[in-house]
Amino acid sequence: MARIEITDLRKEFGDFTAVRESSFTIEDGEFFMLLGPSGCGKTTTLRMIAGLELPTSGTIAIDGEDVSQRPATERDIAFVFQMFALYPHMNVRKNITYPLVSQGWDKARVKAKLDEVATILGIHDILDRPVGGLSGGDRQRVALGRAIVREPKAFMMDEPLGALDAEFRERMAEELRALHDRMGATTVYVTHDQLEAMQMGDKIVVMNNAVVEQFGTPREIYDTPATMFVADFIGDPSMNFLPFDGTVAKRATSVDLAGRAVAIPAAREGAEGRLVLGARPEHISLTDDGPLRGRVVATEYLGTSQVVTLETDFGEVKVRTGADRRAAAGETAALAIDGKRVTLFDESSGRALRSELNEGVV
Smallest distance, ligand ATP to C-beta of residue 162, A: 9
Smallest distance, ligand ATP to C-beta of residue 291, A: 43
Smallest distance, ligand ATP to C-beta of residue 81, A: 12
Among 40, 148, 228, 234, contact with ligand ATP (rule: CB under 6 A): 40
**How many residues contact ligand ATP, by CB under 6 A?**
12
What are the distances in angstroms from CA 65 to CA 10, 73, 75, 151, 180?
19, 15, 10, 19, 24
Closer CB to ligand ATP, residue 17 or residue 312?
17
Residue 22 binds to ligand ATP (criterion: CB under 6 A):
no
Closer CB to ligand ATP, residue 193 or residue 223?
193
Among 24, 26, 30, 42, contact with ligand ATP (rule: CB under 6 A): 42
Q: 85: buried, middle or exposed (CB in 10 Å: 19+, 13-18, 0-12)?
A: exposed
Smallest distance, ligand ATP to C-beta of residue 216, A: 19
State the amino acid at position 144 in one-letter form: L
Coil, strand or helix at 4: strand
Residue 160 binds to ligand ATP (criterion: CB under 6 A):
no
Stretch that binds ligand ATP, among 10-18, 166-174, 225-233, 278-286 (CB under 6 A): 10-18
Stretch that binds ligand ATP, among 33-41, 86-94, 112-120, 197-205 (CB under 6 A): 33-41
Residue 15 binds to ligand ATP (criterion: CB under 6 A):
no
Residue 43 binds to ligand ATP (criterion: CB under 6 A):
yes
The residue at minimum Cβ distance from ligand ATP is 43
Distance CA 134, CA 141 (A): 10
Among 18, 60, 96, 286, contact with ligand ATP (rule: CB under 6 A): 18
3-state helix, strand, coil in the chain (%, to 5): 25, 35, 35
What are the distances in angstroms from CA 321 to CA 62, 286, 287, 339?
47, 8, 11, 17
Is the distance from CB of 8 to CB of 61 less than 8 angstroms? no
Residue 224 binds to ligand ATP (criterion: CB under 6 A):
no
Smallest distance, ligand ATP to C-beta of residue 140, A: 20
Coil, strand or helix at 174: helix
Residue 358 binds to ligand ATP (criterion: CB under 6 A):
no
Distance CA 188, CA 2 (A): 11
DSSP state of 97: H
Distance CA 24, CA 300 (A): 38
* Interface residues toward ligand ATP, by CB under 6 A: 13, 16, 18, 36, 38-44, 192
